[in-house]
Amino acid sequence: NIIDTDIYMAIMYRYLYPNLKTKAALYDVKCSKSLIDEVERLGLKQIMNRTGNSYQYRKVAETNVDFGGEYSGHLFFNDRYPGIDDGIYAGLRMCEVVSNQDKTMYELTKGFNTYYKTDELKIQVTDENKFQIIEELKKYLDLKQYKYNALDGVRVTFDDGWGLIRCSNTGPNLTLRFEANKESRLEEIKNELMEEVNRIIGMF
């Protein structure tokens, strides 16, 4: 079975915690609240960063975190490795976690808060208007007095969920992701924000 990268990160932070030199966790705007909840439980400083391999690599160097990553699968070990993303090495480090604990891989994925969530969604736009769409969306969010983080697109935060709309770094697309405590609430958040995004796209 495939393990979402943010759950991999939650497992790894739990395992690494006693030996972390820098008590901080680095993750990108697409990561689940499941990871954020675990980071909060461990008492680590949270460093949410914009999505992108180069942005994460730079932030690892700036903050000197022992470990960090992003939802797309880039994982950076900076404790016994030179702070670069390496899929084979990340797999070996998880083998280390399993070999040092009396738990199966399946058992290690349990014990975290779980939420209803979407996969990563994409809406095709153009490279010329994708940033303008985000700026128009901010006007709607301000009008509704919604809380949002504008670090990379907008990550809109509600008491019971969140939604992310950002510009793809690699093509003429908007990338979206949604998560909530309840399935019905997930649909509400997704439908409201996607409806507004589609309305704005129709303006161009």
Tokens for 165?
A: 């709309």
Residue-level pLDDT at 85: 94
Residue-level pLDDT at 204: 87
Residue-level pLDDT at 77: 98
Residue-level pLDDT at 180: 98
One pLDDT digit (tens) per residue for the chain, 204 residues:
889 999 999 999 999 999 999 999 999 999 999 999 999 999 999 999 999 999 999 999 999 999 999 999 999 999 999 999 999 999 999 999 999 999 999 999 999 999 999 999 999 999 989 999 999 999 999 999 999 999 999 999 999 999 999 999 889 999 999 999 999 999 999 999 999 999 999 998
pTM of the model: 0.93
C-alpha dist (Å) from residue 95 to 5, 90, 92? 15, 9, 5
Are 55 and 29 in contact, with CB atoms under 8 Å apart? no
Residue-level pLDDT at 184: 98
Gap between the Cα atoms of 184 and 134, Å rounded: 26
Q: What is the largest CA-CA distance in the chain?
A: 57
Residue-level pLDDT at 1: 85
In single-letter form, the type of residue at position 3 comes to I
In single-letter form, the type of residue at position 75 comes to L
